[in-house]
Structure 1
Amino acid sequence: MFGDLMGMMGKLKETQAKVGETKKRLDTVMVDEASTDGLLKVTLTANRQIKAITIDDSLLEDKEQLEDYIILTINKAIEKATKVNETELAAVAKEGMPNIPGMDSLFK
């Protein structure tokens, strides 16, 4: 009984370490998003940290339009990055979980 418990604790620590490594790796995974017309481009990491914003000069003439572009494009980029992040972390977590009936549906 205690051997199983110790084994599960070891597996949990191993999984935590893998999750930490995955989070670090996701800092290097870049997600690009652009407005539909390509006038504004945003790059962020899969951990949702903005790395670059490129704005076409034509957008600088209309502050309100530029603000709308920034909000829409960044929100789309964050949504994309979140999906990558969640998929990667769920895969690592699922890999390290003991086989408990009914638990596998949590990581789909």
Structure 2
Amino acid sequence: MFGDMMGMMGKLKEAQQKVEDTKKRLDTVLLDETSSDQLLKVTITANRTIKDISISDELLEDKEQLEDYLTLTINKAITRASQIHEAELAAAAKEGMPNIPGMDMFK
């Protein structure tokens, strides 16, 4: 029994390390999100850190339009990054989890 418990603890530590490694890797995954007319581009990591914003000169002439573009495009970028972030972390956690009856949290 103790051997099984120690084995499970080791697997849990491995799973935790895989999740941490995945979080670090997601810092290097860059996603580009652009407005439909390509006037604004946002680059974000899968850990939801904005790395770059490129704005067309045309948008600089209209403050209200620029604000709308920023809001829409940044929200789209965050949504996309969040989906990738959550899927990758769930996969890393599931891969390293020991098979404990009744603990199928990651279906």
Check whether TM > 0.5.
yes
- 1:81 CA drift (Å): 0.4
**d(CA) in 2 for partners of 1:71 and 1:78?**
11
**TM-score with structure 2 length normalisation?**
0.94
- 1:103 CA drift (Å): 3.6
Matches within 5 A, 1:1-108: 1-104=1-104, 106-108=105-107
CA RMSD after TM alignment: 1.1
**d(CA) in 2 for partners of 1:77 and 1:49?**
10
- 1:107 CA drift (Å): 2.2
**d(CA) in 1 for partners of 2:70 and 2:19?**
31
- Percent identity of equivalent pairs: 75
Q: 5+ unaligned residues in a row in structure 1: which ranges?
A: none
**2:90 is matched by which residue type in structure 1?**
A
**2:55 is matched by which residue type in structure 1?**
I
**d(CA) in 1 for partners of 2:52 and 2:103?**
39
**d(CA) in 2 for partners of 1:9 and 1:101?**
15
Between Structure 1 and Structure 2, how many residues are aligned? 107
Q: 5+ unaligned residues in a row in structure 2: which ranges?
A: none
**d(CA) in 2 for partners of 1:101 and 1:33?**
42
Helix, strand or coil: the match of 1:47?
coil
Helix, strand or coil: the match of 2:65?
helix
